[in-house]
């Protein structure tokens, strides 16, 4: 239990995480890809939702596997007694091989250096490491080029103590519904897999797709689907809202810290970019770009107060944001402000915020800093 003094020192800005909505989303996506295993992608601190509580909830809801990008996140999951396979979906440094072996993580391999380092670490530890070969079909981030896959396997497939459990790729343009490019990449992947098999290089598990493929392309589900953002209640693109329904998991809220009345022609905030035209009542909300509430929302975004929309005015600073409450009656210091989620009949979604800052939902959610307290409900 928290002591009263700790509660009051923690500040009013919190991200409320609805674990039951998250678990429902896991189940919805599992039903969408019934024949495949579900690998819940919970990288980047579970897109800002907290990797450990979300990892535990994902497994409880039936996710067969988890995916992260850093060894640190994988280790955290293991230290919290999560025993399902945990995939590292990004390349990692060869010097992290010992920790991967120690924590029994499933590595992505797309370089000989890493394969050799993992093999050595596994031999040293006296067991094997599961690895998935990453094929680059067009994202050009990392992965073995299809033309080089056979040569790569000739030099690495038989390294001791590596268990080549899977082979996979990641598409570049599925979220944008560029099916021509995606199908080309899919075919290239499948051709590579079969060329490798012809040479005796077998991989029991194939996988290619994140949320978009899970939602829209059952023909590409293969052995594992790897949804990320959809688990947190947002389809990668608004067109998919008609196909599947998922529930937002995060609500972001704060409280009014201070209220001020300003006469006409008063500049407000750093640089005085906003100037009042008429008499204005403004409120200070204790969140800023130091919390991951992006500066791009300056003079653009909105928050909910008293069930109404209040516009952000002036430049967002590290720790504070100003909103215009002139037309919202009876607002007092301490009143709840909702930055993400609903209040009364109004709702602000992460997609709205992403639109205001000309970005995507992933950045809105995953960009929220650790110092914003997460409360699990």
Report the interface residues with ligand PLP, using CB under 6 A: 41, 43, 89, 170, 210-211, 226-230, 236
Q: Which helix (H) or strand (E) holds 308?
A: strand 308-313
Shortest reach from residue 364's CB to ligand PLP, in Å: 13
Q: Which is nearer to ligand PLP, 229 or 303 (CB)?
A: 229
Task: Note if 157 is an active site residue.
Answer: no
Report d(CA 185, CA 191) in Å as an integer.
Answer: 10
Give the residue at shortest CB distance from ligand PLP: 228
The distance of closest approach from Cβ of residue 149 to ligand PLP in the complex, given in angstroms and rounded to an integer, is 18
What's the min distance (Å) between Cβ of 174 and ligand PLP?
A: 8
Which is nearest to 322 in space by CA: 260, 376, 364? Answer: 260
CA–CA dist 36, 225 (Å, integer): 6
Burial grade of 295 (CB within 10 A; 0-12, 13-18, 19 or more): middle
For the chain, give the number of residues.
Answer: 377
From 23, 43, 253, 280, the catalytic residue: 43
- Asked if 376 is an active-site residue, the reply is no
Q: Which is nearer to ligand PLP, 87 or 280 (CB)?
A: 87
Q: Which of 72, 187, 260, 270 is catalytic?
A: 270
Closest CB 88 distance from ligand PLP, rounded Å: 10
Phi/psi at 106 (5° precision): -95, 115
Pairing verdict, β 107-109 and 129-134: parallel
Q: Measured between alpha carbons, how far is 232 from 265 in angstroms, rounded to an integer?
A: 43
Question: Is residue 192 a contact partner of residue 206, using CB atoms and an 8 Å limit?
Answer: no
CA of residue 37 relative to chain centroid, distance: 19
Q: In this complex, which beta carbon is closest to ligand PLP, that of residue 170 or of residue 289?
A: 170
Residue 141 known to bind ligand: yes
Give whichever of 54 and 262 is closer to ligand PLP, judged by the CB atom.
54
17 vs 231, beta carbon nearer ligand PLP: 231
Q: Residue 113 CB: number of other CB atoms within 10 A?
A: 12
Smallest separation (angstroms) from ligand PLP to the CB of 87? 8
Distances in whole angstroms, Cα of residue 326 to Cα of each of 68, 283, 334, 347, 348? 45, 9, 17, 20, 20
Q: Which residues are annotated as a binding site for substrate?
A: 141
Question: Which active-site residues does the annotation give?
Answer: 43, 270
Q: Which residues are annotated as a binding site?
A: 141
């Amino acid at each position: 239990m928290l002591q009263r003094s700790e509660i009051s020192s923690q500040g009013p800005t919190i991200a409320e995480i609805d674990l039951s909505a998250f678990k429902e989303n896991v189940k919805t996506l599992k039903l969408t890809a019934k024949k495949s295993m579900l690998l819940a992608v919970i990288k980047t601190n579970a897109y800002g939702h907290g990797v450990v509580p979300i990892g535990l909830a994902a497994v409880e809801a039936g996710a067969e596997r988890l995916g992260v990008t850093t060894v640190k996140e994988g280790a955290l999951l293991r230290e919290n007694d999560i025993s399902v396979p945990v995939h590292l979906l990004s390349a990692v440094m060869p010097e992290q091989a010992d920790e991967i072996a120690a924590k029994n993580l499933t590595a992505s391999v797309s370089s000989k250096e890493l394969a050799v380092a993992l093999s050595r670490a596994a031999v040293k530890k006296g067991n094997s490491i599961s690895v998935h070969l990453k094929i680059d079909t067009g994202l050009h981030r990392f992965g073995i080029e299809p033309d080089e896959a056979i040569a790569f396997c000739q030099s690495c497939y038989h390294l001791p103590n590596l268990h080549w459990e899977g082979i996979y790729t990641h598409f570049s343009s599925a979220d944008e519904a560029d099916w021509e490019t995606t199908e080309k990449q899919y075919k290239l992947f499948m051709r590579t897999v079969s060329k490798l098999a012809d040479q005796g290089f077998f991989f029991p598990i194939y996988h290619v797709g994140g949320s978009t493929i899970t939602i829209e392309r059952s023909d590409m589900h293969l052995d594992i689907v790897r949804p990320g953002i959809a688990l947190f209640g947002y389809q990668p693109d608004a067109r998919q809202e008609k196909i599947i329904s998922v529930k937002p998991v995060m609500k972001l809220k704060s409280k009014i810290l201070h209220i001020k009345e300003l006469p006409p022609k008063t500049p407000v905030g750093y640089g005085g970019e906003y100037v009042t035209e008429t008499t204005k009542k403004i409120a200070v909300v204790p969140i800023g770009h130091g919390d991951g509430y992006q500066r791009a929302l300056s003079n653009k975004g909105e928050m909910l107060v008293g069930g109404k929309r209040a516009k952000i005015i002036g430049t967002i600073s590290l720790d504070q944001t100003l909103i215009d409450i002139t037309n919202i009656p009876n607002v007092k210091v301490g009143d709840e402000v909702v930055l993400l989620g609903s209040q009364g009949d109004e709702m602000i979604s992460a997609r709205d915020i992403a639109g205001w800052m000309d970005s995507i939902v992933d950045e809105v959610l995953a960009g929220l800093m650790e110092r914003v307290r997460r409360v699990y409900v």
